[in-house]
Amino acid sequence: MSSSETEGAVRIAPEPFAHVDAEEVRMLTEEISALKVEKGAIILAHNYQLPEVQDIADFTGDSLGLSLRAKECEQNLIVFCGVHFMAESAKILNPTKTVLLPSLAAGCSLSDSITYDSMMEWKDRYPDHTVVTYVNSSAEVKALSDICCTSANAASVVRSIDNDKILFTPDRNLGAWVKKQVPEKEIVIYDGACPTHDVLRGANISAADRGDPGTIIIAHPECREDVLELADEICSTTGMFEAVKRHPHARTFIIATEWAHVHRMKQMFPDREFVVADGCIGCRLHCPYMKMIDLKALKRSLAERVFEITVDDEDMAGARRSLERMMAVPRDA
C-alpha cells in the first residue's frame, strides 16, 4: 500500500487466527459444552483469549476477577483459559479445587522476568522497602512479596502502605505510572515489562487517530509513558468496559492493549467502533502465550483432565497472604 493510500487512514491488519473454520468451531463448541456438563467443570477465560474460547467460557474477565469468580462457583473443577500465573492464582485462592491449564506453553514473559533469585537480589538491595508485586508473577515471587496489586488497584495498594519506601515489581511501566499517581512515596521500580504492551509507541497511537475530537483513547497501564500521555483513560482490562460507558457520546475508541480484548467490547457495545492500536506497522498488539489455548486444547483438557496446576505448600501460604492483603485494601485508599 502506498503512502498516499494510507494517509489519513487507520491501518487495520487482519486479526490473527481469522482463518478458523466456522463449522469446526461449531462442532468443537458442542463437544466442549457436553464435556463440561459431564465433568462438572467451569470454564474461565481471560479477556485476551481467542474469541472462540471467550465465547464458550462461563465467565470472561481479568486474571484476579476470574480467580475470585472461581471461589463463588459450586464446581470443583476449574478450567482456566489464560496463562500459567493466572491458573496458579486460581489454585492459591481455591486450594481445595482442581485447576486445569489447557496448555503448558501458556507462559508469560512479564512473569518470567522476575525469579526467586532476582527478587531476593532486589530485596537485599532495598531492605527497608515494602515489596509490592503485580499479580502478573509466579506464586514463588508472590510469596516473597509483602503485598500484591492489580493494574486496577496498584495506586491504592501503594497509598495504603505505612512505609514511604516501596519496591515495585516486576512491571516498570505500571510502576512508573503508579509513581506519578503516588508522588509522596519513594518508589524503586524493578526492570521488567510486558513485551506485548511495551512495543507500542505514542507515534503508533497518533497514526491511528483519525483526528476526530470525539475519539477516545483507552490504554492499559502496562504501556509506555509516551502512550499513556496520549490516553484519555488509563485502565485495567476490566476497567476499559466502564471507561466506554463513561463516554456515551463517543463513537470511536482506540484501544491500547492486546487485540483479543476488543472481541468482547464489540459484543457489549455494538454501536461503537473499536480500533486496536498497532504495535508496529500493520501489526496489532499480540500476546502469543494467550493464544496457546484453542478449542482443541480446551477439549483435550476437559476430556483427559490435563494439565493440573499445583503449588508448593510454602509458596501457597505466602502467595495467599500477599493476595489477601491486597484484597483488603479499599479501592480509594
Which phi and psi angles does 189 have, rounded to 5°? -115, 125
Q: If you ran DSSP here, which 8-state letter would residue 141 be given?
A: H
Going by pLDDT thresholds of 50, 70 and 90, the confidence category of residue 332 is low
Looking up cell 499517581 gives 181
Name the band, by pLDDT with cuts 50, 70 and 90, for residue 10.
very low
CATH value at residue 38 = 3.40.50.10800
Same domain, 80 and 100: yes
Per the prediction, the chain carries an average pLDDT of 91
Check whether residue 150 and residue 208 sit in a common domain.
no
- Farthest-apart Cα atoms in the chain, separation: 61
Q: State the virtual CA torsion across 21, 23, 26, 32 in degrees, nearest 10.
A: -70
Write the single-letter amino acid at 216.
I
The residue range of the domain holding 147 is 110-195+313-327
Residue 63 and residue 53 share a domain: yes
Res 13 pLDDT > 90: no
Q: What is the pTM of this model?
A: 0.92
Strand partners, 181: none
pLDDT 10s digits, 39-80: 999 999 999 999 999 999 999 999 889 988 988 999 999 999
Does residue 14 form part of some domain?
no
Which secondary-structure segment (H or E) carries 147?
A: strand 147-149
pLDDT value of residue 277: 87
- Whether 297 and 323 map to the same domain: the answer is no
Three-state DSSP state, 130: strand
In a shared domain, residues 167 and 217: no
101 and 86 within one domain: yes
Q: Report the candidate in 216, 146, 132 with the shortest Cα–Cα distance to residue 181.
A: 132
318 domain-assigned = yes
19: confidence class by pLDDT, cuts 50, 70, 90: low
Is residue 163 domain-resident? Answer: yes
Residue 117 domain flag: yes
Indicate whether 4 belongs to any domain. no
Instruction: Decide if 299 contacts 308 (C-beta within 8 A).
Output: no
Tell me, yes or no, whether 265 lies in a domain: yes
In a domain, 16, yes or no: no
- Whether 47 and 98 share a structural domain: yes
The three cell numbers of residue 309 are 496446576
Q: Are residues 57 and 114 in the same domain?
A: no
145 and 75 in a single domain? The answer is no
* Alpha-carbon gap, residue 141 to 134, rounded angstroms: 10
Bond before 127 cis per omega within 30 degrees: no
9 band by pLDDT with thresholds 50, 70 and 90: very low
Same-domain check for residues 159 and 177: yes
- 95 and 128 in a single domain? The answer is no
Domain count, the chain: 3
Question: Given phi > 0 = left and psi -120 to 50 = alpha, else beta, which region is 24?
Answer: alpha
The tens digit of pLDDT for each residue in 197-231 reads 999 999 888 877 767 778 999 999 999 999 999 99
| Of 213, 221, 197, 222, the residue nearest 276 (C-alpha) | 197
Coil, strand or helix: which one is 172? helix
**Domain shared by 173 and 92, yes or no:** no
Please report which confidence band the pLDDT of residue 183 belongs to, taking 50, 70 and 90 as the band edges: very high
Given pLDDT bands bounded at 50, 70 and 90, which one contains residue 280? low
333 in a domain, yes or no? no
